[in-house]
Amino acid sequence: MSGWLNMGSLVLGLIAWILPVLNLGRDNKKEYKHWVTLSIISISACALSLCLQIFNNYHLVQIEDWGGLMDTMSALAFVAGVLLIVTILLNVITLIVYRDRTVK
């Protein structure tokens, strides 16, 4: 079970970073109207990724794997912070780029 939670968290974290990069890489920025939707999906993927890590820690507590929990907590805290900060920065950059270019 732990492996699936970690894999899902990794995939969702990658989605959280890829969507804003795709938003920024679009050639036709003048006519692009759905950047807000992709930003919301990106932030949601980040939140779900962090939620899966919380579920994984809960699973480790349930099976009383204290060693595994203690070994991974410092790395998990660091990676979760990086995921959150980079996701927010990418989406803020997307907001700055598209806020004045949205077709009304």
pLDDT tens sequence for the chain (104 residues):
778 999 999 999 999 999 999 988 876 656 677 889 999 999 999 999 999 999 999 999 999 999 989 999 999 999 999 999 999 999 999 999 888 765 55
Show the tokens assigned to 62.
Answer: 């349930």
Distance CA 31, CA 74 (A): 44
Q: What is this structure's pTM?
A: 0.88
Distance CA 33, CA 10 (A): 28
| DSSP H or E run through 71 | helix 66-98
Of the candidates 45, 34, 33, which has an alpha carbon nearest to the alpha carbon of residue 103?
A: 33
The crossing angle, in degrees rounded to 10, of helices 35-62 and 66-98 is: 170
